[in-house]
């Protein structure tokens, strides 16, 4: 899988987490989480927060507003 949309430095796990975030809330998200174990690690949690911030910012401009609640739930599950 190649992705040059956000070419440059990002936290470890950023790309799988971006794929995961855009698959929320359908069942596809569970499959992605199972396929990319990095998502359940501290580095993956960091990537989750960065991705959530990116996608929520995009949603505030009208892109994929259907992901907003699922992303907020994801953030609450990562941050104690």
In a domain, 38, yes or no: yes
In a domain, 7, yes or no: no
User: What is the count of structural domains for the chain?
Assistant: 1
In a domain, 3, yes or no: no
In a domain, 52, yes or no: yes
pTM of the model: 0.76
Query: Each residue of 4-52: pLDDT tens digit?
Result: 555 667 888 888 888 898 888 778 888 898 999 999 999 999 999 999 9
The rounded distance, in Å, linking the Cα atoms of 30 and 19 is 11
């Amino acid at each position: 899988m190649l992705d040059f949309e956000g070419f440059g430095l990002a936290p470890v796990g950023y790309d799988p987490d971006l794929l995961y975030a855009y698959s929320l809330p359908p069942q596809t998200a569970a499959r992605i989480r199972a396929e990319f174990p990095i998502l359940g690690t501290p580095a993956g949690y960091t990537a989750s927060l960065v991705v959530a911030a990116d996608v929520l910012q995009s949603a505030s401009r009208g892109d994929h507003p259907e992901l907003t609640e699922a992303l907020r739930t994801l953030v609450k599950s990562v941050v104690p």
